[in-house]
Amino acid sequence: MKISKTEITGLLLIEPDVFTDNRGYFFESYSRQQYNDFGIPDDFVQDNYSKSKKGTVRGLHYQVGDKAQGKLCQVIKGEVLDVSVDIRFNSQTFGKHFAQILNSDLKTQIWIPKGFAHGFSVLSDEAIFSYKCTNYYSKAHERNILFNDPHLKIDWKIDYPTVSEKDLNAKKFKDIERDFVYKPE
């Protein structure tokens, strides 16, 4: 397994060792000990799956307060453009985003700690997206940032996105609360 830092502190890419033969493939999708060695917590409490059609954009979502979540994301089927936006107000990368193609062929994962808004666009005909969360979902603590906010300059790689009503009515980036503060290690 290879775990790499990204240009935004805290975000990690995980490339599992995949063993293939004439029967198919095998890989470990999670190993508490190996992930802990790289600072990924082991307190996952909820697993989520979504199935989406090509052109769908989901995001940018996050939770605040004592319900903030870290997420370990991967694609089970298909391909997505995964996007994380740094919303830690005193971070050097505040307002910057990191975009990464995740697909079921490579099986790459991304670790997104608390303090990031997250979303993805579906590039394949269909995608099944999976993510482990370090906290339970709480509607009262859920927040959204407008996916196409011009300040963020995210290229979702989709010409005509399909977006939920909730995501279309999300706050602009400039209007979000100061919910997260970057704490250097």
Among all residues, which ones are annotated catalytic? 61, 131
Peptide bond connecting 146 to the previous residue in cis, omega within 30 degrees of 0: no
Q: Are the C-beta atoms of residues 73 and 119 closer than 8 Å to each other?
A: no
Scanning the structure block, which residue is given the tokens 């993805």?
A: 120
Q: Give me the amino acid identity at 76.
A: I
Q: Are the C-beta atoms of residues 87 and 143 closer than 8 Å to each other?
A: no
Phi, psi (5° rounding) for residue 164? -70, 160
DSSP for residue 45 = -
Distance CA 96, CA 84 (A): 8
Q: Are the C-beta atoms of residues 95 and 83 closer than 8 Å to each other?
A: no
3-class secondary-structure state, position 175: helix
Distance CA 56, CA 19 (A): 31
Scanning the structure block, which residue is given the tokens 């397994």?
A: 1
